[in-house]
């Protein structure tokens, strides 16, 4: 294609011309194997990485397909070194395989004896493997299946896990043809069915869907497919209750079959919903609640918001490799760079639907994103200028002028269900007082949170001020305005989750509004630019307006 939308460069970067007529087609073609780096207005930059290429290989793409995509969409000849590198990198996946041997049990085998010799010589694999069977296979300690997979991906030789899964304890689960909450028939959306099929065919892995696109339903359908006891790991107690309510509403499960294992309840049932927080609670240096994992013969483990997995859960998951594992998330971005651990321990990405595609189908609301820039007063600018580096973000994020901007924005959308979201509790208390609104933080009791969320859903309350506890798994379908005043520094996944609070489709089809109030010429502005990267890749452009123009 002489005038394609893509420029493939020898440093492994891919430049995509956004305004080209084939840009959307090309973006979809490269998305399974290329990772976004920057997404300004006209040229988006992607990069070829080993993890991205291995993900594609695990999902069934071969090097020939990737090479053809690059050649077909490239404006100029693709550097020969790139074509060679793609083929060689992808060929690394699968040269080592974990399989089950009838005599020796779990074994690591290879099609390349030198690769096996190389990894066995590494200190990373010491203690994870047993005796050599022959020059192309070695016994693996069954309990070290996950740890070995982690070690091998660090060594650059990701293993293809073909060892299979234990069946787990059978438990009948079916998708209900009737939405019990509305007493009406319902069916799954096509992309939800596709996500479940891709996951099941792959055995374990991650499904990436926008907030509001029905990740819980994908989880429920995977449970029905498995029809075994299931452990569901979630971010907090409110999320646990929402999972329970949705399962009762959409499946044949009853309340008696679903247990909650959290700070307030310790129920173990055929389907058990546990919070990450309780599982990672330590007493005298021990993770006492991890014994929950041995309490049942789980056939399926579901990780909600899988991109948030804390380190102890990674370690726990390394021991759970014989169980099917499903990760659910709106974005696989991790600011700590541990995406490779999600890949090695949960599984590769099995399904990923672009946000704008789901929006075009009418399943999530269109959203207008605006960055509102505020200028500090001369006195505040001087305070900021001489502050210690570790204090600068808080000073900028909590600039006094933000209260007035929020009041102006709320007035502009008077009567619309509005969330004001922030990081710092004293800032949130000040905003709640100024707005005459209730505030929800980590200190708010679960019952009170649920009462306020329900009041918001029914329209009794139209404004809520919330901390980061509302970032995840909170179902507030009618929220149509979100105003972000501060966040977790430059966190891209938090930005995506917060936009997700207003993306449930509205009954009247109206557009959602997402505002970020940013202090000009400070680290607040720098972090905002970083936070917006993931959403920019999904097609959400931020327009910038001056704070003075909001009240105009």
Tell me if 167 is assigned to some domain. no
**pLDDT at residue 430 above 70?**
yes
DSSP of 97-137: EEEEETTTEEEEEES-HHHHHHHHHSGGGTTTEEEEEETTE
Tell me if 163 is assigned to some domain. no
* pLDDT tens-place string over residues 23-81: 989 988 998 899 877 766 788 889 999 999 998 998 889 999 999 999 999 999 999 99
Tell me if 169 is assigned to some domain. no
**CA gap 74, 13 in Å, rounded:** 12
Total of domains in the chain: 4
Chain-centre distance for alpha carbon 453: 23
Tell me if 256 is assigned to some domain. yes
**pLDDT at residue 207 above 90?**
yes
**pLDDT at residue 474 above 70?**
no
Q: Are 253 and 271 in contact (CB under 8 A)?
A: yes
In the three-class reduction of DSSP (H, G, I as helix; E, B as strand; rest coil), residue 258 is classed as: strand
Whether 72 and 200 map to the same domain: the answer is no
Give residue 231's pLDDT band: very low, low, confident or very high (50, 70, 90): very high
Whole-model pTM: value is: 0.84
Give residue 235's pLDDT band: very low, low, confident or very high (50, 70, 90): confident
**CA gap 498, 9 in Å, rounded:** 35
What is the phi-psi region of residue 214: left when phi exceeds 0, alpha when psi lies from -120 to 50, beta otherwise? left
Whether 88 and 103 map to the same domain: the answer is no
**CA gap 204, 207 in Å, rounded:** 10
Give residue 307's pLDDT band: very low, low, confident or very high (50, 70, 90): confident
Tell me if 109 is assigned to some domain. yes
For the chain, what percentages of helix, strand and coil (3-state, to nearest 5) are there? 40, 20, 35
Provide the pLDDT for residue 1: 47
* pLDDT tens-place string over residues 373-409: 999 999 999 999 999 988 999 999 999 999 999 999 9
Residue 295 or residue 552, greater confidence:
295
Whether 52 and 142 map to the same domain: the answer is no
**pLDDT at residue 336 above 80?**
no
* pLDDT tens-place string over residues 502-537: 888 777 778 889 999 999 999 999 888 888 877 777
**Which of 69, 92, 115 lies at the terminal end of a domain, its last residue?**
92
Whether 406 and 318 map to the same domain: the answer is no
Nearest to 543 by CA among 366, 365, 412, 369: 369
Whether 462 and 519 map to the same domain: the answer is yes
Provide the pLDDT for residue 2: 62
What is the phi-psi region of residue 301: left when phi exceeds 0, alpha when psi lies from -120 to 50, beta otherwise? beta
Whether 462 and 445 map to the same domain: the answer is yes
**CA gap 208, 350 in Å, rounded:** 8
Tell me if 172 is assigned to some domain. no
Tell me if 173 is assigned to some domain. no
In the three-class reduction of DSSP (H, G, I as helix; E, B as strand; rest coil), residue 481 is classed as: strand
Name the pairing type of β-strands 324-329 and 300-304: parallel
Domain of 242 in residue numbering reads as 178-359
Q: What are phi and psi of 455, to 5 degrees?
A: -65, -35
Provide the pLDDT for residue 442: 84
Give percent of the chain with pLDDT exceeding 90: 58
Provide the pLDDT for residue 101: 93
Helix axis angle, 63-73 relative to 23-30, nearest 10°? 160
**Which of 51, 74, 92 lies at the terminal end of a domain, its last residue?**
92
Provide the pLDDT for residue 39: 66
Give residue 356's pLDDT band: very low, low, confident or very high (50, 70, 90): confident
**pLDDT at residue 361 above 80?**
yes
* pLDDT tens-place string over residues 436-449: 999 998 888 888 98
* pLDDT tens-place string over residues 82-117: 999 999 999 999 999 999 999 999 999 999 999 999
Q: Are 279 and 289 in contact (CB under 8 A)?
A: yes
**pLDDT at residue 247 above 80?**
yes
Whether 458 and 539 map to the same domain: the answer is yes
Average pLDDT, the chain: 89
Whether 374 and 307 map to the same domain: the answer is no
**pLDDT at residue 452 above 80?**
yes
- Sign, CA dihedral 265-269-275-281, equals positive
Residue 11 host element (H or E): none
With a CB cutoff of 8 Å and minimum separation 6, the contacts of 548 are: none
Provide the pLDDT for residue 446: 82
Whether 437 and 521 map to the same domain: the answer is yes
Burial of 252 (0-12, 13-18, 19+ CB in 10 A): middle
Whether 101 and 52 map to the same domain: the answer is no
Strand partners, 305: none
Q: Are 214 and 189 in contact (CB under 8 A)?
A: yes
Provide the pLDDT for residue 490: 66
Whether 119 and 33 map to the same domain: the answer is no
Tell me if 168 is assigned to some domain. no
What number of other Cβ atoms are within 10 A of residue 544's Cβ? 13
**CA gap 510, 366 in Å, rounded:** 8
**CA gap 246, 92 in Å, rounded:** 41
**Which of 92, 116, 146 lies at the terminal end of a domain, its last residue?**
92
Rg of the chain (C-alpha set): 25
Give percent of the chain with pLDDT exceeding 70: 96
Provide the pLDDT for residue 264: 79
**pLDDT at residue 330 above 60?**
yes
Whether 62 and 127 map to the same domain: the answer is no
């Amino acid at each position: 294609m002489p005038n394609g939308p893509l420029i493939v460069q020898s440093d492994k970067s891919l430049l995509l011309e956004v305004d080209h007529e084939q840009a959307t087609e090309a973006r979809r073609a490269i998305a399974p194997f290329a990772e976004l780096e920057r997404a300004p207005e006209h040229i988006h930059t992607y990069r070829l990485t080993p993890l991205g290429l291995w993900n594609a290989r695990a999902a069934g793409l071969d090097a020939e397909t990737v090479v053809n995509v690059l050649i077909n969409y490239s404006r100029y000849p693709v550097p020969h070194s790139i074509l060679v590198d793609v083929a060689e990198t992808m060929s690394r996946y699968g040269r080592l395989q974990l399989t089950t041997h009838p005599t020796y049990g779990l074994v690591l085998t290879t099609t390349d004896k030198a690769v096996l010799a190389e990894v066995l010589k590494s200190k990373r694999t010491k203690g994870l493997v047993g005796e050599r069977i022959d020059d192309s296979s070695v016994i693996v300690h069954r309990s070290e299946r996950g740890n070995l997979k982690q070690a091998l991906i660090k060594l650059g030789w990701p293993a293809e896990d073909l060892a299979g899964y234990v069946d787990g304890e059978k438990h009948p689960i079916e998708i209900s043809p009737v939405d019990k909450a509305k007493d009406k028939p319902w069916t799954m959306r096509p992309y939800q069915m596709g996500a479940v099929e891709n996951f099941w065919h792959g055995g374990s892995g991650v499904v990436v869907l926008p907030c509001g696109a029905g990740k819980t339903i994908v989880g429920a359908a995977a449970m029905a497919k498995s029809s075994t006891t299931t452990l569901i790991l979630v971010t907090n107690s409110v999320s646990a209750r929402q999972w329970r309510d949705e399962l009762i509403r959409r499946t044949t499960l009853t309340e008696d079959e679903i247990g909650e294992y959290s700070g307030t309840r310790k129920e173990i049932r055929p389907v058990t919903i546990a919070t990450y927080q309780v599982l990672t609670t330590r007493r005298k240096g021990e993770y006492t609640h991890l014994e929950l994992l041995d309490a049942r013969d789980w056939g399926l483990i579901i990780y909600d918001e899988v991109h948030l997995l804390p380190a102890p859960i990674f370690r726990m998951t390394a021991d759970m490799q014989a169980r099917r594992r499903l990760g659910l998330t709106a974005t696989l971005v991790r600011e700590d760079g541990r995406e490779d651990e999600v890949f090695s321990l949960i599984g590769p990405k099995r399904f990923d639907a672009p946000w704008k595609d789901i929006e075009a189908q009418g399943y999530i609301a269109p959203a207008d994103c605006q960055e509102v820039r505020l200028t500090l007063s001369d006195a505040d600018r001087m305070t900021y200028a001489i502050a210690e580096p570790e204090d600068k973000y808080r000073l900028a994020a909590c600039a006094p002028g933000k209260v007035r901007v929020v009041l102006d924005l709320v007035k502009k959308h008077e009567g619309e269900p509005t969330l004001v979201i922030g990081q710092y509790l004293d800032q949130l208390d000040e905003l709640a007082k100024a707005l005459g609104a209730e505030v929800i933080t980590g200190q708010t009791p679960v019952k009170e949170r649920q009462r306020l969320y329900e009041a918001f859903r029914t329209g009794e309350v139209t404004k809520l001020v919330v901390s980061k506890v509302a970032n995840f798994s909170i179902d507030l379908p009618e929220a149509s305005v979100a105003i972000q005043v501060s966040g977790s520094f430059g966190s891209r996944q938090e930005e995506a989750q917060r936009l997700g609070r207003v993306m449930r489709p509205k009954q009247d089809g109206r557009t959602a509004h997402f505002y970020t109030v940013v202090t000009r010429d400070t680290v607040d502005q720098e972090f905002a630019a970083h936070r917006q990267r993931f959403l920019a890749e999904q097609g959400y452009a931020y327009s910038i307006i001056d704070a003075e123009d909001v009240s105009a």
